[in-house]
Structure formats: C-alpha cells, structure tokens
Amino acid sequence: MAAVLGVSAHYHDAAAALVVDGRIVAAQQEERLSRVKNDPSLPRMAIDACLALGDIEAAALDRVVFYENPYRKLERVMVGSFAAFPRGAGFFRRALRSQLGDKLWVLDQLAAHLGVKRERVSFVDHHQSHAASALDCAPFDDAVALTIDGVGEQESTAIWAPADGGPRRVASIDYPHSLGLFYAAITAYLGFRVNEGEFKVMGLSAYGTSRFDDEVNQLLRVAADGSFRLRTSAFDEHLRPDRAYGDELVQLLGPARESQRPWDLDSGEDRRFADLAASAQRALEEAVLALGRAAHERTGARHLALAGGVALNCSANARLLAEGPFERVFVQPAAGDAGGALGAALLGARSEGDAIDGRFDPALGVAADPDRAMAVARHLGLNADRVDDPEREAAERLAGGAIVAWVRGRSEWGPRALGQRSLLTRGDDVTLRDVLNRRIKGREAFRPFAPVVRDEHASALFEGAPNDMTPAMTTVCRAMDDSLPGCTHVDGTARVQTVGPEGALDGLLRAMEGHGQRALLNTSLNAAGEPLVAHVTDALDFFVRRKPDVLYVEDVRITR
C-alpha cells in the first residue's frame, strides 16, 4: 500500500502522475498549467496539482520515480558528442552545459521541491516507463508492448513482455537508428517544428502521392527480421538538433521548405512537399508494421500495447490493427514523454509491492470549477448563468450551427480533447469546419478535425469502430459515407472518438440525436500553438480572445 509520484521532465512534455495503492489517481502535463507548449521544465505545478487531486502531502509519498536514467542519458550524450568531434564541438559544449548544469541533478531538484529525502527519489529506464504505461493501462491481458520514440537513454525502440516486477525487455534497437528521429527530420525538412509538427506531417501526407518512396527508402531501410536502420549520414542531430537532418538528406530529397511560408497545395512546390510527406508516412507505417510482426513472432502475444511518441501516429496504428497479426491494439493516450511519468509511477508502485488496478480513464487532470468560472466571467462583464439542462440547450445551439466550447470534469491526459476540454460543432457542414479552422483555431487549412460518436452508432458511420483505440482517438477509421465532410479527412478517414455511456459527451450526443445528428466535430479547446486548456480561467481567456459562440463549464453557460 504505497503512494508513488512519477515524473518526466527536461526534454519535452514534462508531466507528473500519482499512483496510490496501485490505482492511478491523477496525471497532469505541465504545459496545461504553465501555458508553455511542450513545457520541458521540472513540472512543479503538475506535481502540486497531482498531490492536491490525490489529497496527499508530499511527506506522505513513499517513492518519487523519475522516468529515465539521468546517468545513462549523460553517457549517451557524451559518447555521441565524441563521435561527432570535432564538427560537433559546439553541440558538445551546449549539451554538457545543459546536462551538468541542470539535467544531471533532476533527482535532487525533485527532492528539494517536494521536501523529501533524496533517498526516496529514484529512477527507472525511459522505455520501460513507456512500456509499463502501455501494458498496465491496456484493457486486455496476453499482450506485448512495443515502445517507439526518438531516443530514451540509448534505445529508440523496444519490445517488452509483461513480468511481475514490470515489463521485461525482449529486444531493442539503439539510437541513432530511430523512427522518431526519422520522422522528426522530415517534420523539420517540411518547415514544421520538431516535437510539435509531427501531427501536421501526418495530416499533410493524405494530400500527397507517395512518389518519393525510392528516395525515402534510402533513408530508412526495414530488414527481414522487422528491425530497421537509418542512413545516419543523412541525419545531423549533433550539429543541428533543432532540425535533425543534414546536407545529404537535402541532396537526396531536394531543397527543404521554408518554415514561415503559407501553404498552397495547388502550387507545384507544395505538392512536392505533400508527396514527400506521403512517402515518409508510408515508410514509417511499413517500419511500424514490421516491428509489430516481429513483436508477435517473438512473444506469440495476441494483443499489442503501444507507447512512445511514434505511437501517436494514428494512421500507422490503424494499419497495425488492420494488417498486423494482433487481435487487439491499444495505445496509452499520452504516448509521448509525458506518459513516461505515468509508467514511472506504475513501476514504482510495483516495486513497493502493490498490485496495479488496470482500470484506466484518461480524465486524470485538474477539475473544472463552475463557481469560479461564473465569478470570473461576471467580473469580465460576460453573461454567466446556471442552466438546468446544458446538454439539451447546447444541442439546440449546435443544431443551429453554433461553435460551442465545452468544459466538463477533470481535464484530459494526452494530446487529444476527449470531451473534457473541447470545441464542438456540427460535423456535416464544411463551412463550420473552415470557420473553426481559420477564425477560432487559426491553423493550417489542411489539418483535419475529428468526429465524436456514441459507441452504438460508431459501426454504422466508421469501419472498424469502436475498437480499443477509438475512445482516446489514437487511430483512424474509414468513414462509411460522406455524411460528415467537416470531420472526414481528404483520404476518407477520420480520427474518430467513440464514447461509452460514462463518457463526458454521452449526454450531449444523445441530445444531438433529437436533432438528427449522430456525430459531432470535436477538437481541442485551444488555438494553434497553444497547450490544451486545463483550468476554467484559461477556458475563459480562450473564449474572450477567440470568440466561440458559447462556453459551458458544467452547468454554467457563458455568453457575451
């Protein structure tokens, strides 16, 4: 019976998670509270929020577990820097300054922030954290975990079998051979920011034709045993960590795209970049499929649990389920580094002798406070009233073409808005989609929106839905028809969310059915480049700045 805090920090997506007596009590990403996108800093606010949600004092924590080994990380950075010497001398200085000046001391920083003894703070391996988060949150047994990201301490990819003390490594691939590095380099090459623009590459790929397969396959080669190798000379992460690709990649693929130029997919130049995105996405999917087959061959498991940043590629996940050897596939929703905090806490709980409670609901963050929302809204001169039936009233507004900001319960764990902090509108109207994209969200027009539908209607609207990934939007399904053009991508797929009877949007979707609508368009309550909203004050800030038609915080309705 133990209280264990897990923490990820210092690279990107810092987060904290609290597990008490083997049950996941809270999990919170720092960026949602600090309002700094992908905030990597020590997650002091997220830690404090988790302790408050668990109603537990720091002194009562039995263990604090960091999600990776800082000493192995330092070793890898030093070895990598030496390997690139003398060209990588500048990187060596910057990396060592960052490592020795800050990151190496993370366990001390955690002890100091929490006021606990340093001996109570420990660490686990990066990919084992990912694997534990996937296996312990998966809704099935008889599973193997596959963890794929940029790099942990040394590994970029690993296959894990469940074991009593935590996941057991079956096989692994070391950095710099890394699917995360490959996709990050393509992301930067296409002019997007690494660790943020990968979703855009995936969305863009649907607009292209994969006519650069031969060139891309020279960068990423998949072997018969399911492993893969990068042409490392084309990747330059030590000299240019912000873009990861080198001159050799440019010689192979042509000039890179300027980052600030607006997209015009009717122009020949941007068509070329879309085609390159399509080939890169295809290569990634083939590599992930090969890894899935290798994981099955090595373990014989019937089910697959995924984590690591690459597991957020929902198109690849869909192919794994459709074409891979597994009956079921699950992705831990915060599959990136944030999710490592949850895995670290779960591993810590196991080492304290606790059995893990496998029930998992991604509504693990800070709670909505309608009283505070009403008080602040009135202070801002907004209309704020309590309504008897917010679902029925919101449904009427939505049916009339409104764009509704919706705040319910505890905020989401993972990058997707799942009805706790959402922007909603009708999915059958492309005009509403364009208004949402350009006026409210302010993001690129080629980026798709996602539909949300109740479980019982999912199979009528989308092939293969519901499945283990659709509740957290970590896969795509092909739409049965063209009835939802506002939230179906150009290739006919949608990143559909399915909602069970306990889901945050179940009541609203039922009310929409009275207006002849079985699905809604659901997107995150934030503008381009901002973190998803967590606190109601940030929801109000968004409402004032971006002007959706109405904001509901539980039963409080806010209008201008």
List contacts with another protein (CB under 8 A): 69, 71-72, 74-75, 78, 93, 96-97, 100, 104-105, 107-108, 111-112, 118-119
Nearer to another protein, 108 or 513 (CB): 108
State the minimum distance, in angstroms, from the CB of residue 14 to another protein: 19
- How far apart CA 509 and CA 37 sit, in angstroms, is 30
Shortest separation between residue 535's beta carbon and another protein, angstroms: 32
Contact 548, 429 (CB under 8 A): no
**In the bound complex, what is the minimum distance in angstroms from residue 59's beta carbon to another protein?**
16
**Within a 13 Å sphere around the CA of 399, how many CA atoms are in the beta-carbon half?**
17
In the complex, what is the shortest distance from the CB of residue 82 to another protein, in angstroms, rounded to a whole number?
9
Nearer to another protein, 69 or 129 (CB): 69
Residue 73 C-beta: closest distance to another protein, Å: 10
In the complex with another protein, which residue's Cβ is closer, 110 or 311?
110
| 405 contact partners, CB below 8 Å, separation of at least 6 | 422, 423, 424, 525, 539, 542, 543, 548, 550, 551, 552
- Spatial contact of 27 and 364, defined as CB atoms under 8 Å apart: yes
Give which of 560, 252, 251, 200 is closest to 377, Cα–Cα: 560
Compute the distance between CA of residue 552 and CA of residue 66 in angstroms, rounded to an integer: 37
Smallest distance, another protein to C-beta of residue 406, A: 45
Between 56 and 78, whose beta carbon lies closer to another protein? Answer: 78
Distance between CA 23 and CA 256 in Å, rounded? 47
Sign of CA dihedral 70, 72, 78, 81: negative
Q: Alpha-carbon distance 154 to 156, whole Å?
A: 7
Alpha-carbon distance of 361 to 557, in angstroms, equals 26
Least distance between another protein and beta carbon 65 (Å): 15
Closest separation between CB of residue 93 and another protein, Å? 5
The DSSP code sequence of 312-333 is G-HHHHHHHHHHSS-SEEEE-S
CA pair distance 77, 86, nearest whole angstrom: 15
Nearer to another protein, 111 or 216 (CB): 111
Q: For residue 498, count other CB atoms closer than 10 A to its CB.
A: 25
Of residues 96 and 387, the one with the C-beta less far from another protein:
96
Tell me whether residue 12 is one of the annotated catalytic residues: yes
**Whole-angstrom distance, CA of residue 144 vs CA of residue 158:** 11
**Catalytic residue of the set 12, 126, 238, 303:** 12
Q: What's the token pair of residue 420?
A: 């706790």
Quickly count: other Cβ atoms within 10 Å of residue 269's Cβ.
11
Provide Rg for the chain, Cα atoms. Answer: 23
- The secondary structure of 443-501, three-state, reads CCCCCCCEEEEEHHHHHHHECCCCCCCHHHCCCCEEECCCCCHHHCCCCCEECCEEECC
Residue number with CB closer to another protein (79 or 430): 79
* Cβ closest to another protein, residue 2 vs residue 104: 104
Q: How open is the CA angle 181-184-188, to the nearest 5 degrees?
A: 140
Q: Which residues contact 469 (CB under 8 A, 6 or more apart)?
A: 314, 317, 321, 329, 330, 331, 475
Catalytic sites, residue numbers: 12
